[in-house]
Chains A and B, each alone.
Chain A
Amino acid sequence: MTRSTIELPVTADDYRIARYAAAAIALTVAEAALPSPLPGIKPGLANIIVLVVLARYGWRDAAWVSLLRVVAGSLVIGQFLAPGFFLALSGALCSLSVLALAQHLPPRLFGPVSASVLAAFAHIGGQIALARAWLVPHDAVFYLLPLFATAALVFGTINGLVAARLLAIPVATPVPDTALLKAGQ
């Protein structure tokens, strides 16, 4: 086989983002297997990863991981460009924009739980807004809002606690990115 002549430069950032995105996609796929009492109500476990990445590496990395998760996750599940994909995308975009603001909250008073709950509310807000505008053009969708809001509060709190706990544990042996770069070649 002829060796490829195309060289795509891969940075340490790319490896790190890909690793976290892979973890988020794995959680998305695992979650898709869980039964749900109502379509749209899901624990959103992949958001734990987004919160950890946000706290460790900043908003840009978190946005990459979140959007890669939505696109690649939907490809794996077979939902790409289906209505569920657009709902997930609009939820992810809304929660990312809220997280962009929430990361400026004073860290002395607010931890990952606040960010998680705010992002969860933004997520259902984005989904319901898109559903109202496109899928169910009737105000009846807002009848579901209390249920979605309750789920967002519960799962947002739990995910935030898990993320806070993971962030509270110091990373024992940080993987040197240069070593990974060599291993990847």
Chain B
Amino acid sequence: MKGTVPDGLRELLAQAAGDGHVPWRTLLKPGDWLLLLAAAVSVAASYPLLWRGGVADRAIVKRDGQLVTELALNLPRKYEVTGAIGTTVIEVQPGRARVVSDPGPRQYCVQQGWLTRANAVAICAPNHVTLQLSGRGGPNGYDTLNY
């Protein structure tokens, strides 16, 4: 055993197993407590700051790639867009948005249901209308069509 364990580690293990019990609390000085508190607060603050990216706050409606309107996701409301073959109805509720009805034959964008995450997209292709959510990450984040 003596030959296989490095001297430094043996010393550490011997001390850790030794009788000299020092109460843990006396090992922390006032500045340590202060620094730990500050560190804990900034770590806790980093969660909402850095993980807000997935939260959507605006719905962007486009027709033929041109911006039609931006709707804030705070009040429930409905919005109608006239596209190539008819009217698309978009509904906004706090934190989410969806396509309620669309004249397209297959209704893909309607069946997508509520969009909640930033950069999620519903495309009503026959009517040339898209609904996209945007968050704090801006328009350059990953979207639902992108891995």
Contact = CB atoms under 8 A, between A and B. Distances in A.
Given A23-B12, A114-B35, A143-B53, A108 B29 contact: yes
A170 B46 CA distance: 40
Given A145-B46, A145-B50, A165-B27, A113 B36 contact: yes
A142 B42 CA distance: 15
Nearest to A169: B20
A144 B137 CA distance: 15
A146 to B, nearest CB: 5
B15 interface: yes
A110 B39 contact: no
A135 interface: no
A169 B22 contact: yes
Contacts of A70: none
B39 A22 contact: no
A106 B46 contact: no
Given A48-B12, A169-B15, A105 B27 contact: no
Contacts of A153: 36, 39-40, 43
A20 B8 contact: yes
A49 to B, nearest CB: 7
Contacts of B53: 143
A157 interface: yes
B6 A26 contact: yes
A129 to B, nearest CB: 15
Contacts of B9: 22-23, 26-27
B6 A146 contact: no
A22 B7 contact: yes
Contacts of B20: 168-169
Contact of B50 (A48, A49, A142): A142
Interface in B37-60: 39-40, 42-43, 46-47, 50-51, 53
A116 to B, nearest CB: 9
Nearest to A160: B32
B30 A109 contact: yes
Contacts of B24: 161, 165
Interface string B61-87: 000000000000000000000000000
B145 interface: no
Given A121-B39, A149-B46, A168-B22, A161 B27 contact: yes
Nearest to A112: B27
Contacts of B16: 162, 165-166
Interface of B: 5-9, 11-12, 15-16, 18, 20, 22, 24, 26-32, 35-36, 39-40, 42-43, 46-47, 50-51, 53, 142
Given A19-B6, A142-B50, A149-B43, 13 more contacts: A22-B7, A23-B6, A26-B6, A109-B32, A111-B27, A111-B29, A111-B32, A112-B27, A113-B36, A117-B39, A153-B43, A161-B28, A171-B11
Interface of A: 19-27, 48-49, 52, 105-106, 108-114, 117-118, 121, 140, 142-143, 145-146, 149-150, 153, 157, 160-162, 164-166, 168-169, 171, 175
